Amino acid sequence: MDSTQLRIRIDRAIADKAHKMARSLGMELPDVVRMMLTEAVRIGDFSIERGEQLPTDQAARPFYEYDERQWNSMKTMLDAELALALVNQYIASHTLQIEAAAERVEPDARRIQQLTQERDEARKVLATLDPADAGAVRTILQRFGPQPDRGRQNTGDYEEGDAP
């Protein structure tokens, strides 16, 4: 590996705190600096968040630009939580649609039956879901998650005057 040595001058108090922080993580300070510089070059940005909001002309970095290694251990759990939330939202949306359809002057019995059947199927999915089963979670995300070609179907997003 072709390398170069870098010497920097830094305030003693900051250096002492930085050494302690690095040791608490089981690292040496030069390793931390190398890691930070490598990541800054990888993403092409030296910015360090200071608890301030980004300027309005600077967009936040999209989620897909983050290092996946930082999220891999949590991804399965987060996907399972999302799947559960999507199914619950689907069930709640169908319940609202059923109630709205039943309150109409002339309720559409066929539509109410269809919505009830779809809601009951979703309840069964929810009752039998094993959050540790990545395949089942992926299937739920595909089935109940947002899909551009699905439009407003089964979302409960009806405007006044629309038939549920």
Provide the pLDDT for residue 7.
85
Provide the pLDDT for residue 44.
83
Would the CA dihedral through 30, 33, 39, 43 be positive or negative?
A: negative
- Whether 42 and 102 map to the same domain: the answer is no
- Whether 40 and 87 map to the same domain: the answer is no
- Whether 83 and 138 map to the same domain: the answer is yes
- Whether 34 and 77 map to the same domain: the answer is no
Give the total number of structural domains in the chain: 2
- Whether 40 and 84 map to the same domain: the answer is no
Give the pLDDT band of residue 3 (cuts 50, 70, 90). confident
- Whether 29 and 83 map to the same domain: the answer is no
Let me know if residue 25 belongs to a domain: yes
Provide the pLDDT for residue 116.
94
- Whether 46 and 82 map to the same domain: the answer is no
Let me know if residue 159 belongs to a domain: no
Let me know if residue 155 belongs to a domain: no
**pLDDT tens digit sequence for 104-138:** 999 899 999 999 999 999 999 989 988 888 889 98
- Whether 47 and 76 map to the same domain: the answer is no
Domain that holds residue 35: 8-51
Give the pLDDT band of residue 161 (cuts 50, 70, 90). very low
**pLDDT tens digit sequence for 34-52:** 888 888 888 888 877 655 5
Let me know if residue 97 belongs to a domain: yes
Provide the pLDDT for residue 29.
85
- Whether 83 and 144 map to the same domain: the answer is yes
- Whether 82 and 135 map to the same domain: the answer is yes
Provide the pLDDT for residue 160.
43
- Whether 81 and 142 map to the same domain: the answer is yes
Let me know if residue 2 belongs to a domain: no
Provide the pLDDT for residue 71.
64
- Whether 46 and 77 map to the same domain: the answer is no
**Residue 93 burial (CB count, 10 A):** 20
